[in-house]
Chain A
Amino acid sequence: MTVTETPAPPARAEDPGGRARRRAGRARGIRLALLVAFLVIFLIPVYVLLVTSFKPLTEADPGRAWALPEVWTAQPWRVAWEKLAPGIWNSVLLAVPGALISAVLGSMNGYVLSKWRFPGADVLFTLFLFGMFIPYQGVMIPLVQLLVKLNEITQSLTGTPGVFYGAIPGLLLAHVVYGIPICTLIFRNYYVTIPDELIEAARVDGAGMLRTYWSVVLPVSGPAFAVVIIWQFTSMWNDFLFAVFLTGPQSWPTTVMLNNIAGAQTVPYSQQMAAALLASVPTMIVYVLLGRFFMRGLMAGALKG
C-alpha cells in the first residue's frame, strides 16, 4: 500500500459531519441489534437446560416444554447428583493431577525447545505438533492392547490387578501423553518472549540448565502455567473418546456416566438436563473466573502465540 501524493478525495470532506455521524450511528445500531439477536439464539440451550431441570415430573407435558415451571423443584438435581457423583469424583481424580503433571512436563519441554536448544530441536517440535492433530482413533486399539498387557504384567508380578486398563491411572497416562504437544507448544511460545540476554547472563554467572530454569524462567512462568492447567483440566474433564475406550464401570468419569444416564429412555428429561448441568459446573466455573487464560489456550491451538 503506497500513499499517493494526491490530496484526500473530497467525498468525505464534503459530507456534512452530521449525516456521516448519523449513518455511522445507524450502522452501529444494526450491528448491536444483530449481536443481541445472536446472543439470544446462543442462550436458547441454556434456557432449556435450566428450565427443564427444575420441573417436577407432573409438568413433563410437551405442551409446556418451553414454559417456566409452575412449581420449581430441586428433585431432579438431587437424583442427578446421586447418579453422577461417583463419575464426578473419578473426573476430579483424573483432571486435577493430570493437569498438574501436564503443566510440569510442558514447562520443561518448552524451556528446552526455546532456550536450551539442541540440534534438530525444530524438527522435533514439528514432530510433536503432529501429535496434537492426530485423530486419537488412530492410536486407540494399540493403546487398549498395551494397557491390557500392562495390567497382565502387573498382575503376574505383584498378584494384584493392574490399574492401567479400566482404571483412572491408565486414562490419566493417556491424557498426559497426548497432552504433551499442546502443553509444549504453549510454554514454548511463552518462553520465546523471555529475552535471551537474561538466560545468557545466568549462564555467564555459572548457572547450569536446571539452575537457570529454577531461578530465572520458573518465577515468570505463572501465566503460562495458568493457561496450560486450565486447558488440560477442561479437556480431561470433557473428554469422552478416551474414557469410553479405556475405563470400566468402576472408573467411568463424568462424561461416560452422563451419557449412560441420558441414553436411558427411562430417565426423565428433567434429570437428564440437571445431570448435564452438573457435569458442566466445574468447567463453567473455570471459564467464568479464568476465561482470559482459557482464551489463550484456545488461541494456541491455532498455532499462534
Chain B
Amino acid sequence: MTRVRRWLPGLLLVMPSIIAIAVFVYGMLGWNFRLAMTDRHDEISEGSFVGLENFVTLWDQKRWGISVDHAIVFTVVFVGGALALGWLLAFLMEKGIRGEGTFRAVYLFPMAISFVATGVVWRWLMNSGQDERAVGLNRLFDSLGLDFLQWEWFRNPDWGMAAMAIPAIWQMSGYVMALFLAGFRGVPEDLREAARVDGCTEWQVYRHIVLPLLRPVTLSALIILGHISLKVFDLIVAVSGKQIITDVPAVFMWVAVFDSHDPAKGATIASYIVLAVSVFVIPYLVWTLRKERRP
C-alpha cells in the first residue's frame, strides 16, 4: 500500500498526457485504419466495411504508382546525398578548424527555416527556363559558360525527383553533420593514439577504429532522414504545388481529401505512409530501448 502511495501521484500527474497520446496518436491511427477499410468515398455517406479492398484497388490507379516511384527516387537521392554531404562536412571539421563555429552555424541555419520559405527560392533557382528565358541556376550555368548543365530540374519526367531532393539535402545535411561531428568527437583520442602507436596509418585509423564506432550515429541519421523523406510534403507543395510530375504519397493524400473529397482513399494512402515509416522506426525504437537498459 505504501508502495502504491509512492508512485500513484506520479502516474496521476502524467495521466493527462497519457490520455492525450492514447486518443490522439493510437486512437486516431486506429480510426484512420478503420476508415481506410470502408467504402466512404464521399463526405456524406456513412460507409460500410469493405476490408482491405481500398488497399488493393489503390494500386490500379496510375497516379499512386507514380507517386510511389517518386517517393523512392526522392528517398534514395535525399538520404544518400544528405548522409554523404553531412559526413564529409563533419570529416573536414572533426580535427578542429579555425572558425568552426561560423561553419557550423551556416551549415545548420537552413534547419531553422520552414520548407515553405526555402521552397520559394528553390523554385526560382530550379526554374526550368533555358538560354534566353533562363533564370536561377540555369542562368548561372549559362553565364559561367557551363550551358550544358542546364536542364529542366524538377520538371524532368525521369529524374525530376532527384532535383527535388537538392533543397532537402541543403536543408538537412547540416543536421547530419552535427550528428556525425558529435560521433567523431566521441571517439576517445587514446584509442586513435593507441592504433597509431601500433603502426596504423591515419587512413587505417579511420577505417578500423573511427568508422565502426560511428555505426550507431549512422543508423540514427538514416532513420531520421528516412522518416522525413517518406512523409515529405511541405517542400514539394512549396516548390511545385500539386502537379502530378512531382507527386508523392503525402501530396496525393492531400488531393484525395480536399480535391477528390474521398476520405476512404485519403485514409488508405495515409495508412500506407504510416506502415512504410513503422517498418523501420519500430525496430529502431525497440533497439534503442534495449541499448539504454544495458548498463
Contact of B113 among A1, A259, A283 (CB under 8 A): A283
In the bound complex, do residue A38 and residue B28 qualify as a contact, i.e. CB atoms below 8 Å apart? no
Query: Is B211 part of the contact surface with A, judged by Cβ < 8 Å?
Result: no
- Determine the distance from Cα of A181 to Cα of B289 in the docked complex, in whole angstroms: 15
In the bound complex, do residue A299 and residue B195 qualify as a contact, i.e. CB atoms below 8 Å apart? no
- Determine the distance from Cα of A182 to Cα of B20 in the docked complex, in whole angstroms: 14
Q: How many B residues, CB 8 Å from partner?
A: 107
Min CB distance A7 to B, Å, is: 9
With most chain B CB atoms within 10 A of its CB, the pick from A113, A133, A286 is: A133
Query: Is B161 part of the contact surface with A, judged by Cβ < 8 Å?
Result: no
Query: Is A247 part of the contact surface with B, judged by Cβ < 8 Å?
Result: no
- Determine the distance from Cα of A295 to Cα of B111 in the docked complex, in whole angstroms: 10
In the bound complex, do residue A240 and residue B237 qualify as a contact, i.e. CB atoms below 8 Å apart? yes
Residues of A near B230 (CB, < 8 A) are: 135
Min CB distance B167 to A, Å, is: 8
Residues of B near A129 (CB, < 8 A) are: 285
Binary interface profile of B, 193-223, with partner A (CB < 8 Å = 1, else 0)? 0111111000000000100000001001100
Given A38-B107, A135-B227, A276-B121, A141:B270 Cβ within 8 A: yes
In the bound complex, do residue B10 and residue A209 qualify as a contact, i.e. CB atoms below 8 Å apart? yes
In the bound complex, do residue B14 and residue A112 qualify as a contact, i.e. CB atoms below 8 Å apart? yes
Which candidate, B50-58, B59-67, B97-105, B147-155, is the interface stretch facing chain A? Answer: B97-105
In the bound complex, do residue B106 and residue A255 qualify as a contact, i.e. CB atoms below 8 Å apart? no
Query: Is B44 part of the contact surface with A, judged by Cβ < 8 Å?
Result: no
In the bound complex, do residue A258 and residue B10 qualify as a contact, i.e. CB atoms below 8 Å apart? no
Which residue of A has the minimal Cβ distance to B182? A299
Residues of A near B263 (CB, < 8 A) are: 141
Contact of A138 among B116, B199, B270 (CB under 8 A): B270
- Determine the distance from Cα of A252 to Cα of B281 in the docked complex, in whole angstroms: 32
In the bound complex, do residue B17 and residue A184 qualify as a contact, i.e. CB atoms below 8 Å apart? yes
Residues of A near B113 (CB, < 8 A) are: 238, 280, 283-284
Chain B facing A: main interface SS = helix
- Determine the distance from Cα of A4 to Cα of B198 in the docked complex, in whole angstroms: 7
In the bound complex, do residue B266 and residue A133 qualify as a contact, i.e. CB atoms below 8 Å apart? no
- Determine the distance from Cα of A126 to Cα of B230 in the docked complex, in whole angstroms: 22
Query: Is B159 part of the contact surface with A, judged by Cβ < 8 Å?
Result: no
Query: Is A52 part of the contact surface with B, judged by Cβ < 8 Å?
Result: yes
Given A276-B117, A276-B121, A298-B178, A136:B112 Cβ within 8 A: no
Which residues of B in the span 31-79 have a Cβ within 8 Å of any Cβ on A?
31-32, 35
Min CB distance A188 to B, Å, is: 11
Residues of A near B92 (CB, < 8 A) are: 31, 34-35
Q: How many A residues, CB 8 Å from partner?
A: 100
In the bound complex, do residue B28 and residue A139 qualify as a contact, i.e. CB atoms below 8 Å apart? yes
Residues of A near B2 (CB, < 8 A) are: none
In the bound complex, do residue A262 and residue B9 qualify as a contact, i.e. CB atoms below 8 Å apart? no
- Determine the distance from Cα of A232 to Cα of B74 in the docked complex, in whole angstroms: 27
Which residues of B in the span 163-213 have a Cβ within 8 Å of any Cβ on A?
170, 174-175, 178-179, 182, 191, 194-199, 209
Min CB distance A240 to B, Å, is: 4
Binary interface profile of A, 126-167, with partner B (CB < 8 Å = 1, else 0)? 111111011111111111101000000000000000000000
Binary interface profile of B, 1-39, with partner A (CB < 8 Å = 1, else 0)? 000000111110110111011001111110110010000
Binary interface profile of B, 224-235, with partner A (CB < 8 Å = 1, else 0)? 100100110110
In the bound complex, do residue A244 and residue B254 qualify as a contact, i.e. CB atoms below 8 Å apart? yes
- Determine the distance from Cα of A1 to Cα of B217 in the docked complex, in whole angstroms: 21
Min CB distance A147 to B, Å, is: 11
Query: Is A43 part of the contact surface with B, judged by Cβ < 8 Å?
Result: yes
With most chain B CB atoms within 10 A of its CB, the pick from A8, A134, A177, A275 is: A134
Which residue of A has the minimal Cβ distance to B196? A12
- Determine the distance from Cα of A62 to Cα of B128 in the docked complex, in whole angstroms: 13
Residues of B near A109 (CB, < 8 A) are: 13-14, 17
Query: Is B267 part of the contact surface with A, judged by Cβ < 8 Å?
Result: yes
In the bound complex, do residue A35 and residue B103 qualify as a contact, i.e. CB atoms below 8 Å apart? yes
With most chain A CB atoms within 10 A of its CB, the pick from B27, B31, B114, B134 is: B114
Min CB distance A225 to B, Å, is: 17
- Determine the distance from Cα of A3 to Cα of B194 in the docked complex, in whole angstroms: 6
Contact of A42 among B110, B253, B289 (CB under 8 A): B110
Given A259-B238, A303-B288, A287:B109 Cβ within 8 A: yes
In the bound complex, do residue B281 and residue A259 qualify as a contact, i.e. CB atoms below 8 Å apart? no
Residues of B within 8 A of A (CB): 7-11, 13-14, 16-18, 20-21, 24-29, 31-32, 35, 89, 92-93, 95, 97-98, 102-103, 105-125, 129, 132-136, 139-140, 143, 170, 174-175, 178-179, 182, 191, 194-199, 209, 217, 220-221, 224, 227, 230-231, 233-234, 237-238, 241, 249-250, 253-254, 257, 263, 266-267, 269-271, 273-274, 277-278, 281-282, 285-286, 288-289, 293
Q: A137-B273, A141-B266 given. 7 additional CB < 8 A pairs? A: A52-B124, A210-B9, A272-B120, A280-B117, A286-B112, A298-B175, A299-B178
Q: Could you jot down 26 A-B contacts, CB within 8 Å?
A: A8-B197, A31-B97, A42-B174, A45-B118, A45-B122, A48-B121, A52-B124, A62-B129, A109-B14, A112-B13, A116-B7, A126-B286, A128-B17, A133-B227, A174-B24, A177-B24, A238-B114, A240-B114, A241-B250, A255-B234, A263-B241, A276-B120, A280-B114, A280-B117, A283-B112, A294-B112
Closest 8 pairs (CB-CB, A-B): A238-B114, A118-B7, A116-B10, A138-B274, A135-B231, A139-B28, A287-B112, A9-B199
